[in-house]
Amino acid sequence: MALIDLIVKRVEKWKDARYIERSKSWPTAVADIVDWSIVEGLADSEDADKFQVQATLGLTVGERRLYGVLRSVGMIHGEARVFVASASKPATVTVRYDSVDLGEMIAAPLPNELPFDVRLP
């Protein structure tokens, strides 16, 4: 069973890498961060034993309003709590979106736009 899990994880990483590479050609836009929260680290990841800051994003493209989320890399709870308590709302962040499939969006913060690294898919 462990071998199958390893194969599945490698295939998922490969798909994620392809998705991230493909997203580099998408247009960029500035999204509003409408909410900050703290969530438990994603299961089955290196962040499973940590917490993550999660931002709910809103982006207007043409006449459509799109929503998505971004998550920080894993951090200790106190660090995440201090950030969320002091984070300004509203805030903005740069994202990339698929102009063909408006349901696809990926955070692409500029250097120093956020005080933490973003966890990509």
Residue 98 belongs to what H/E stretch? none
Residue type at 85 in one-letter notation = A
Count of Cβ atoms closer than 10 Å to residue 51 Cβ: 21
Rounded distance between C-alpha atoms, residue 72 and residue 115, angstroms: 9
Nearest to 68 by CA among 79, 76, 59: 59
Token pair, residue 86, equals 């002091």
Q: What is the mean pLDDT of each run of 10 residues along the chain (121 residues)?
A: 63 64 81 91 73 91 88 89 85 86 78 80 59
Which pTM value belongs to this model?
A: 0.72
Rounded distance between C-alpha atoms, residue 38 and residue 11, angstroms: 29
pLDDT for res 38 = 93
pLDDT for res 41 = 84
